[in-house]
């Protein structure tokens, strides 16, 4: 199949960027979207032009590296990561807009690559349980009800890709932060730092400059890891309870 | 003190204020509707109810100021949040596509602002009587302010009724997203509760619309008359 | 000059070696630890756990990764689980049994002492991960659930849905984050190590390239840890992430570190078959699928009927037939080779006949679809996404693919390479899996090295090194930096006609065809004849557009492929010289009449560790004899 791409090209963080029309020719339907870009890049390179820079790594939907807003949807039309999007989802001759994830907190590095280190900084603020290597008790000393373990796993499945921020009309990171806070708050191991974790992670999220949640639920709809929006409700609850505890104690 | 101010300056804290004031105002909307619907019982219950409200005296002013404060807080905090939301994406997308956000959800600011305009008109119309000053002097046989008469006369104007119906439509649209949303923001949501809030919120917003719209419609169709 | 290598295995009975060694190891006083700087390259399970543990202990750590965040290292993709000798199922598991299974699974080509230590610390890993909040699967009573895995007859595998690697990595990443916040670890994402710096024969720093700005800089340290993963991408198509590379290890090799057993590569039996030339990677389906799926091909050659049209009697459940006691859970190398045999026999299924069925019909009948969905839902979804087929209704098609590499830089019992101060952890070293790795053991090894081995053993090297850290002003740093710059400039200046991927694909084809699942003297000779001209053409005709002082994806790839083009030759040479079959290394000339691998314990019961002798020179094959005190190498039978 042949496709008309409109791809965001930007030399570096400081230069202005623009959408550039690029033709993708002879693309097999069984190719993934990123393999389509590989083919386009091969063509560009042979022509002596610089290939399109885009983030990707595992190409099996788990590392969270690939991004891209495809026709206005983060990760495109299939409810997975971009690397798991296959060209059979598109029609021959279609025009496809490929843009980077957009948010003040995700500045463009080059072309379609953005800097998502704000997510790391939020995690560093409190997205952990303090457990020094060597200090742990036997793993079965702390039974965790299956329901809680399953709910924690559901939240922990977040791959940190940032699609939630990219899809949110407000560029809010509530789904990401909610997932981490929920995962750890649901487990008995996470109780000791529960209050400080919620306070620190939300504070860092705000300082980074993410927008505020308006409950549009676009985040949930594009999340390739199926993180439910109930983690946002939990975060709202956790943070408020934590603030009350902090005010009183 | 410090933790309260930092809570109120946080995204979640401010959202809570918006949700709580929204909840309060929603309570008023429901109460006001129940009061208004007494119009279908005839002039006597409605005018008695109006007199009861008037007789609250200072307490009525406390309620009014409380409502005003909620409206102001609801708006001020929303404006602050909106400004941050805009700043959070300085460069927009050339193409956007939405999967989940409903039309009412995307129209919250607009519907809210229009409802605000309506409230101002509504207060001038039926409370301050600035649109038709004669409303202020209507009394019934018992010497009470004749609210029933005022309503019927007010809604016999097709323009006023249409405007009113459109406005309560916008209010209902605001609540369509607002009710479910406020439970989510207050953290009172979960996978199990979610359908209740979402569907319940939509159903309630429709009930509110039908309830409020029924009065001018009844007047225009002659079901309610003097 | 070939030398006999000293692995520095402690004396004494096997079960007491580690205890004894820990006691005899040098300690560093907590107040002195902050005077040491340690470089960790890589942030996967081994790197993140090592950096976090060392930071926690008080060392000053710098951690580097090429990804945009340490959370994205490829450990994240491991699906199935992690082994530990907890015996929570009361089914007869023990440290001794995990040790024995691992040694046997590795076809008696790994070090007894290392493997025993791995089995010993395995239980503490689970404790540590649970304490960090890793949401392992639980039973209704709240206790940890286990499942069985290839190569074992006990249930000792802990898992978190089909995302165990992800959850373990996020656990290690969270520990790392805590240290970054505490400022004991400084993190350098999007930074690629391009060389190691030796000062007076000790590894005392690295040269890196900032992948965003292109700046090439040096970092000095008291010790350097390479936790840079495996080299599966030498085959171009593998289950590795696109960025996985051998560069860090290969640079170390060229500075004198020994590369051990590179020919031990693991082919994973359950991957989604190749669809076309454009394909950029292969996707693995966790081998845990083999717990409930049954592998089969039609009995008849060229049977083109749809799978459900083939009656049971005309299906060959070949693993159950050939290996009745292990059945579909036979180890990876055996399962993979059996699949290849079936396909070579003309009984393969799907496009090109390069596939076998993995059928869940019986499991769905036995367990119900919801149960199967709960266990493997995400894998079935992934399969559907990629192939467009619904595996609840028709069997999956699978085919083997390169997955893991057991070989790597040679290390002693302390995980230190032959270069003092250069430590190698996780998949990047060669030590624990012998010629074949058992399922759910990679995660175990990565975390064992990082949390529980290196933090104890590094003291032996560091203690006498106090105050000896050089500054980057030294001549050695300048010289290495200049080497890196020259190489980068050379790649950029060729401006030939072919893309980097073209050469990588070509190399991959050679490697897979001649040095893949089965190797022979002839095929290896062919590979050894074809790689050097390809490499030569690369350096004449590759086109790396753009500049060095900017983000340049082609340049990054070119550097890695240039190293693969050298490394691939060494891999083939090692395969050529190892005239036996063992584990993942299957030489067609050396097999029993029934097709089983035939080891040659008399001549090859050793580790082959290759030493670099300069460009164009034949490397030296050094030998570390493997001594078995506890187990007796036998024919590895899974019948």
Task: Nearest chain B residue to A101 by CA: give it.
Answer: B93
A20 and A68 in a single domain? The answer is yes
Mean pLDDT throughout B60-65?
95
Instruction: Tell me if B93 and A72 make a contact (CB, 8 A cut-off).
Output: yes
Cβ neighbours of A220 in B, within 8 Å = 100
Interface of A with B in 141-180 (CB under 8 A): 167, 169-172, 174
pLDDT at A16 over 90: yes
Task: Nearest chain C residue to A78 by CA: give it.
Answer: C385
A76 and A17 in a single domain? The answer is yes
Instruction: Establish if A55 touches chain C: CB-CB under 8 angstroms.
Output: yes
A127 and A218 in a single domain? The answer is yes
Interface test with A, best of B18, B95, B106 (most A CBs within 10 A): B95
> Three-state DSSP class for C227?
coil
C394 and C489 in a single domain? The answer is no
Q: pLDDT below 50 — which residues of chain C?
A: 1
Domain that holds residue C582: 484-625
Q: Pick from A35, A123, A133: which is nearest to C128 by CB?
A: A133
Instruction: Establish if A35 touches chain B: CB-CB under 8 angstroms.
Output: no
pLDDT at C3: 66
Our CA-based measurement puts residue B123 at a distance from the nearest CA of chain A, in whole angstroms, of 29
Q: In the numeric block, which tokens belong to residue C569? A: 């030759």
Instruction: Tell me if A157 and C501 make a contact (CB, 8 A cut-off).
Output: no
A184 and A123 in a single domain? The answer is yes
Distance CA C254, CA C487 (A): 14
Tell me if C197 sits within 8 A of A150, measured CB to CB. Answer: no
Rounded to 10 deg, the angle between the B158-185 and B108-122 helix axes is 130
Our CA-based measurement puts residue B69 at a distance from the nearest CA of chain A, in whole angstroms, of 22
Average pLDDT, chain B: 94
Cβ neighbours of B177 in A, within 8 Å = 215
Domain that holds residue A31: 3-110
Which pTM was predicted? 0.95
Report if residue C517 sits inside a domain: yes
A95 and A156 in a single domain? The answer is no
- C349-385 pLDDT, tens per residue? 988 888 999 999 999 999 999 999 988 887 898 898 8
Instruction: Establish if A240 touches chain B: CB-CB under 8 angstroms.
Output: yes
C496 and C614 in a single domain? The answer is yes
Q: How many helices (H) and strands (E) does chain C have?
A: 18, 19
Cβ neighbours of C74 in A, within 8 Å = 57-58, 63
- The DSSP annotation for C32-86 comes to HHTT-EEEEE--SHHHHHHHHHHHHHT-EEEEE-SSSSGGGSGGGG--S-EE---
Rounded to 10 deg, the angle between the B158-185 and B11-36 helix axes is 140
Our CA-based measurement puts residue A111 at a distance from the nearest CA of chain C, in whole angstroms, of 10
pLDDT at B121 over 60: yes
pLDDT at C635: 81
**Which CATH number do you get for residue A123?**
1.10.1060.10
Mean pLDDT throughout B139-158?
92
Name the neighbours of C, counting chains with at least 3 Cβ pairs within 8 A.
A
**Closest of A13, A115, A3 to residue A70, by C-alpha:** A3
Distance CA A102, CA A79 (A): 19
Cβ neighbours of A160 in C, within 8 Å = 69, 71-72
More confident residue, A93 or C336: A93
Proportion of chain A above pLDDT 90, given as a percent: 96
C387 and C504 in a single domain? The answer is no
Instruction: Tell me if A144 and C142 make a contact (CB, 8 A cut-off).
Output: yes
Instruction: Tell me if B89 and A103 make a contact (CB, 8 A cut-off).
Output: yes
Neighbours of C224 (CB within 10 A): 29
Number of compact structural domains in chain C: 2
**Which CATH number do you get for residue C538?**
1.20.58.100
A187 and A170 in a single domain? The answer is yes
pLDDT at C344: 87
CA distances from C194 to C45, C408, C495, C540, C560 (A): 21, 17, 21, 21, 9
Instruction: Establish if A98 touches chain B: CB-CB under 8 angstroms.
Output: no
Task: Nearest chain B residue to A100 by CA: give it.
Answer: B93
A172 and A237 in a single domain? The answer is yes
Distance CA A6, CA A33 (A): 14
Instruction: Establish if C386 touches chain A: CB-CB under 8 angstroms.
Output: yes
Instruction: Tell me if A63 and C77 make a contact (CB, 8 A cut-off).
Output: yes
Report if residue C457 sits inside a domain: no
Tell me if C115 sits within 8 A of C127, measured CB to CB. Answer: no
- A136-160 pLDDT, tens per residue? 999 999 999 999 999 999 999 999 9
Neighbours of C594 (CB within 10 A): 7
- B22-34 pLDDT, tens per residue? 999 999 999 999 9
pLDDT at C46: 98
Interface test with C, best of A32, A57, A176 (most C CBs within 10 A): A57
Tell me if A159 sits within 8 A of C209, measured CB to CB. Answer: no
Rounded to 10 deg, the angle between the C475-494 and C521-541 helix axes is 90
Q: Pick from B89, B96, B181: which is nearest to A104 by CB?
A: B89
Number of compact structural domains in chain A: 2
pLDDT at B147 over 60: yes
Distance CA A49, CA B139 (A): 85
pLDDT at B1: 55
Instruction: Tell me if A46 and C543 make a contact (CB, 8 A cut-off).
Output: yes
Interface of C with A in 208-267 (CB under 8 A): 212, 239, 241-243
Q: Pick from B10, B90, B105: which is nearest to A202 by CB?
A: B10
Interface of C with A in 531-570 (CB under 8 A): 543, 545-546, 550-551, 553-554
pLDDT at A188: 97
Pairing assessment for the beta strands A108-110 and A113-114 based on DSSP bridges: antiparallel
Place of tokens 């129940």: B34
Report if residue C11 sits inside a domain: no
Instruction: Establish if A203 touches chain B: CB-CB under 8 angstroms.
Output: yes
Name the neighbours of B, counting chains with at least 3 Cβ pairs within 8 A.
A
**The complex's ipTM?**
0.97
C507 and C599 in a single domain? The answer is yes
- The DSSP annotation for C245-297 comes to -SHHHHHHHHTTPPEE-TT-EEEEEEEPPP--TT-----B--GGGGGT-EEEE
Distance CA C573, CA C571 (A): 5
The domain boundary, picked from C346, C372, C403, lies at C403
Report if residue C153 sits inside a domain: no
Distance CA A65, CA C242 (A): 11
Distance CA A56, CA A52 (A): 12
The domain boundary, picked from C403, C423, C446, lies at C403
A74 and A163 in a single domain? The answer is no
Backbone torsions φ then ψ of C105, nearest 5 degrees: -60, -35
Instruction: Tell me if A131 and C131 make a contact (CB, 8 A cut-off).
Output: yes
A11 and A70 in a single domain? The answer is yes
Instruction: Establish if A47 touches chain C: CB-CB under 8 angstroms.
Output: no
pLDDT at A93 over 90: yes
C286 and C388 in a single domain? The answer is yes
Cβ neighbours of B189 in A, within 8 Å = 229-230, 233
- C472-497 pLDDT, tens per residue? 999 999 999 999 999 999 999 999 99
Q: In the numeric block, which tokens belong to residue A235? A: 């975060």
Our CA-based measurement puts residue A138 at a distance from the nearest CA of chain B, in whole angstroms, of 32
Instruction: Tell me if A30 and C275 make a contact (CB, 8 A cut-off).
Output: yes
Tell me if A143 sits within 8 A of C141, measured CB to CB. Answer: yes
pLDDT at B166: 96
pLDDT at C2: 61
Task: Nearest chain B residue to A204 by CA: give it.
Answer: B10
Instruction: Tell me if C68 and A125 make a contact (CB, 8 A cut-off).
Output: no
Residues contacting B34, CB < 8 A, separation 6+: none
Instruction: Tell me if A58 and C69 make a contact (CB, 8 A cut-off).
Output: no
- How many residue pairs from chains A and C have C-beta atoms closer than 8 A? 224
A187 and A126 in a single domain? The answer is yes
A97 and A122 in a single domain? The answer is no
Instruction: Tell me if C283 and A139 make a contact (CB, 8 A cut-off).
Output: no
Place of tokens 């709809």: A221
Cβ neighbours of B95 in A, within 8 Å = 69, 71-72, 97, 99
**Which CATH number do you get for residue A98?**
3.10.20.30
Q: In the numeric block, which tokens belong to residue B194? A: 């979610």
Interface of A with C in 82-121 (CB under 8 A): 84, 86, 88, 109-110, 113, 115-117, 119-120
Instruction: Establish if A59 touches chain B: CB-CB under 8 angstroms.
Output: no
Instruction: Tell me if C72 and A65 make a contact (CB, 8 A cut-off).
Output: yes
C508 and C376 in a single domain? The answer is no
Q: Pick from A120, A133, A160: which is nearest to C53 by CB?
A: A133
State yes or no: chains B and C have 3 or more CB pairs below 8 A: no
Tell me if C129 sits within 8 A of A137, measured CB to CB. Answer: no
CA distances from C280 to A79, C241, C501 (A): 21, 10, 10
> Of all helices (H) and strands (E), which one includes residue C142?
none
Cβ neighbours of A230 in B, within 8 Å = 189-191, 194
Distance CA A213, CA B84 (A): 11
The domain boundary, picked from A110, A125, A152, lies at A110
Instruction: Tell me if B99 and A228 make a contact (CB, 8 A cut-off).
Output: no
Ordered by where they begin, the domains of chain B are 12-86+102-220 (1.20.1300.10)
A102 and A157 in a single domain? The answer is no
Instruction: Tell me if B97 and A73 make a contact (CB, 8 A cut-off).
Output: yes
Backbone torsions φ then ψ of C212, nearest 5 degrees: -90, -50
pLDDT at B132: 85
**Which CATH number do you get for residue C332?**
3.90.700.10
Count of all residues that appear for chain C in the document? 639
């Amino acid at each position: 199949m042949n496709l008309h791409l409109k791809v965001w090209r930007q030399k570096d963080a400081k230069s202005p960027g623009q959408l550039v029309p690029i033709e993708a020719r002879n693309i097999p339907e069984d190719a993934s979207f990123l393999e389509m870009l590989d083919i386009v890049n091969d063509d560009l390179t042979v022509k002596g032009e610089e290939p399109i820079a885009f983030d990707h790594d595992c190409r099996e939907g788990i590392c969270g590296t690939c991004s891209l807003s495809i026709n206005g949807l983060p990760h495109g039309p299939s409810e997975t990561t971009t690397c798991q999007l296959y060209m059979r989802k598109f029609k021959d001759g279609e025009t496809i807009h490929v843009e980077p994830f957009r948010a003040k907190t995700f500045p463009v590095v080059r072309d379609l690559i953005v800097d998502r280190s704000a997510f790391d900084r939020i995690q560093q603020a409190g997205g952990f349980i303090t457990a020094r290597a060597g200090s742990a008790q036997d793993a079965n000393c702390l039974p965790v009800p299956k329901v809680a373990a399953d709910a924690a796993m559901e939240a922990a499945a977040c791959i940190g890709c940032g699609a939630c921020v990219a899809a949110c009309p407000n560029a809010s990171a509530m789904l990401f932060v909610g997932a981490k806070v929920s995962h750890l708050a649901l487990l008995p191991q996470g109780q000791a730092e529960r209050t400080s974790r919620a306070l620190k992670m939300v504070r860092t999220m705000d300082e980074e400059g993410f927008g505020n949640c308006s409950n549009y639920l676009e985040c949930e709809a594009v999340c390739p890891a199926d993180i439910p929006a109930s983690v946002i409700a939990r975060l709202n609850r956790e943070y408020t309870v934590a603030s009350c505890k902090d005010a009183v104690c | 003190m410090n933790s309260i101010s930092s809570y109120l300056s946080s995204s979640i804290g401010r959202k809570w204020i918006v949700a709580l004031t929204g909840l309060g105002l929603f309570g008023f909307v429901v109460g006001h509707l129940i009061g208004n619907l007494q119009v279908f019982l005839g002039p006597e219950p409605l005018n008695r109810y109006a007199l009861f409200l008037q007789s609250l005296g200072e307490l009525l002013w406390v309620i009014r100021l409380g409502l005003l404060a909620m409206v102001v807080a609801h708006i001020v905090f929303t404006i602050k949040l909106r400004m941050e939301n805009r700043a959070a994406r300085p460069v927009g997308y050339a193409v956007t596509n939405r999967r989940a956000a409903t039309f009412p959800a995307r129209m919250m600011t607009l519907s809210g602002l229009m409802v605000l305009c309506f409230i101002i008109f509504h207060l001038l119309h039926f409370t301050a009587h600035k649109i038709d000053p004669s409303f202020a002097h209507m009394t019934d046989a018992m010497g009470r302010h004749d609210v029933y008469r005022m309503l019927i006369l007010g809604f016999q104007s097709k323009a006023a009724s249409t405007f009113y119906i459109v406005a309560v439509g916008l209010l209902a649209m605001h609540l369509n997203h607002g009710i479910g949303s406020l439970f989510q923001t207050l953290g009172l949501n979960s996978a199990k509760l979610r359908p209740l809030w979402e569907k319940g919120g939509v159903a309630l917003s429709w009930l509110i619309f039908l309830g409020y719209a029924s009065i001018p419609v009844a007047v225009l169709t002659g079901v309610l008359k003097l | 000059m070939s030398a006999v290598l000293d692995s520095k295995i402690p004396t004494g009975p096997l079960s007491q070696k580690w205890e004894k060694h820990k006691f005899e190891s040098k300690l560093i006083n907590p107040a002195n630890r902050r005077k040491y700087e340690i470089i960790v390259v890589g942030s996967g399970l081994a790197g993140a756990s090592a950096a976090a543990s060392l930071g926690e202990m008080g060392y000053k750590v710098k951690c580097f990764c090429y990804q945009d965040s340490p959370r994205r290292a490829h450990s994240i993709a491991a699906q199935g689980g992690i082994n530990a000798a907890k015996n929570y199922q009361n089914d007869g598991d023990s440290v001794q049994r995990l040790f024995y299974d691992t040694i046997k699974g590795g076809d008696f080509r790994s070090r007894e002492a290392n493997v025993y230590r791995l089995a010993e610390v395995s239980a503490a890993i689970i404790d540590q991960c649970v304490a960090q909040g890793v949401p392992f699967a639980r039973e209704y009573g709240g206790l940890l659930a286990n499942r069985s895995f290839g190569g074992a007859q006990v249930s000792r595998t802990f898992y978190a849905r089909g995302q165990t690697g992800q959850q373990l990595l996020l656990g290690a990443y969270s520990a790392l984050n805590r240290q970054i916040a505490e400022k004991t670890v400084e993190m350098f994402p999007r930074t690629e190590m391009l060389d190691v710096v030796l000062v007076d024969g000790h590894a005392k720093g690295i040269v890196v390239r900032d992948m965003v700005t292109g700046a090439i800089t040096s970092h000095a340290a008291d010790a350097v840890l390479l936790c840079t993963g495996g080299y599966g991408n030498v085959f171009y198509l593998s289950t590795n992430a696109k960025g996985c590379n051998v560069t860090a290890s290969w640079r170390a090799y060229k500075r004198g570190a020994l590369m051990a057993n590179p020919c031990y590569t693991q082919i994973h039996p359950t991957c989604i078959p190749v669809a076309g030339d454009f394909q950029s990677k292969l996707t693995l389906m966790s081998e845990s699928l083999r717990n409930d799926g049954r592998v089969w091909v039609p009995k008849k050659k060229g049977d083109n009927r749809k799978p459900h049209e083939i009656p049971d009697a005309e299906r060959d459940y070949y693993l159950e037939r050939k290996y009745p006691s292990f059945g579909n859970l036979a180890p990876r190398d055996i399962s993979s080779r059996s699949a290849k045999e079936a396909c070579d026999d003309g009984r393969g299924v799907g496009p090109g006949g390069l596939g076998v069925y993995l059928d869940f019909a019986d499991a769905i009948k036995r367990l119900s679809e919801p149960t199967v969905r709960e266990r493997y839902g995400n894998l079935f979804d992934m399969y559907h996404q990629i192939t467009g087929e619904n595996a609840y209704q028709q069997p999956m098609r699978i085919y083997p693919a390169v997955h893991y590499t057991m070989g790597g830089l040679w290390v002693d019992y302390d995980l230190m390479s032959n270069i003092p101060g250069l430590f190698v952890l996780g998949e990047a070293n060669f030590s624990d899996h012998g010629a074949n790795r058992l399922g759910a053991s990679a995660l175990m090894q990565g975390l064992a090295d990082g949390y529980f081995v290196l933090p104890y053993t590094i003291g032996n090297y560091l203690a006498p090194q106090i105050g000896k850290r050089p500054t980057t002003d030294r001549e050695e740093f300048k010289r290495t930096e200049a080497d890196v710059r020259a190489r980068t400039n050379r790649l950029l200046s060729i401006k030939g006609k072919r893309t980097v991927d073209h050469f990588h694909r070509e190399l991959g084809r050679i490697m897979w065809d001649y040095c893949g699942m089965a190797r022979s003297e002839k095929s290896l000779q062919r590979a050894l004849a074809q790689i050097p001209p390809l490499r030569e053409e690369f350096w004449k005709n590759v086109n790396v557009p753009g500049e060095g002082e900017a983000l340049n994806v082609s340049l990054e790839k070119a550097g890695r492929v240039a190293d693969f083009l050298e490394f691939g030759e060494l891999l083939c040479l090692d395969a050529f010289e190892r005239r036996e079959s063992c584990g993942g290394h299957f030489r067609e000339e050396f097999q029993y009449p029934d097709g089983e691998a035939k080891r040659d314990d008399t001549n090859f019961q050793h580790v082959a560790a290759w030493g670099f002798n300069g460009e164009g020179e034949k490397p030296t094959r050094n030998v570390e004899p493997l001594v078995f005190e506890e187990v007796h190498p036998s024919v590895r039978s899974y019948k």
